[in-house]
Amino acid sequence: MAEYGEWNRKGATLSDKTARKEYKVDQDFIIKGIETGKLECRYACVWGNPFIKVLRRQLEEYIAAELGAEYLARAKGKRELLKIKKEMAELEQKLRGLQFRKAELERTLNKS
């Protein structure tokens, strides 16, 4: 059973499409979890496109039980690695911009 307010917490829920992408499971796996009662779900619709929302905690427990803890750890590790790489790329881009601005300011200050 979901904890009080769990459906409203940021990052506590994810759509079926996001679950398939992050954890590399298929739609049938998610539906089977809902039908067996191991996953709670809510149905939602954005711009006329329906989707299923599930709780991340329950989905991870279900994946660990059905596919194994190693599978879950590998999927979470891949997701974290992608997040770190993205953040590093953003920081490198920001650093290049700052270095360019620094060089520009130094040139203008050296002229006077």
* Span 48-93, pLDDT tens digits: 999 999 999 999 999 999 999 999 999 999 999 999 999 999 999 9
Residues 82 and 63 placed together within one structural domain of the fold: no
Give the pLDDT band (50/70/90) at residue 112.
Answer: low
Domain-located, residue 72:
no
The pLDDT of residue 111 = 82
Closest CA to 22 of 51, 52, 66, 63: 63
Domain total of the chain: 2
Q: 73 in a domain, yes or no? A: no
Interhelix angle 69-111/16-23, rounded to 10 degrees, is: 90
Is the entire prediction scored with pTM above 0.85?
no
**Angle, nearest 10°, between helix axes 16-23 and 56-67?**
50
Q: Determine the structural domain holding residue 112 and report its residue range.
A: 78-112
Residue 50's H or E segment, with its range, is strand 49-55
> Do 57 and 36 fall within a single domain?
yes
- 55 in a domain, yes or no? yes
Residues 102 and 63 in one domain: no
* 2 vs 71: which has the higher pLDDT: 71
Same domain, 46 and 92: no
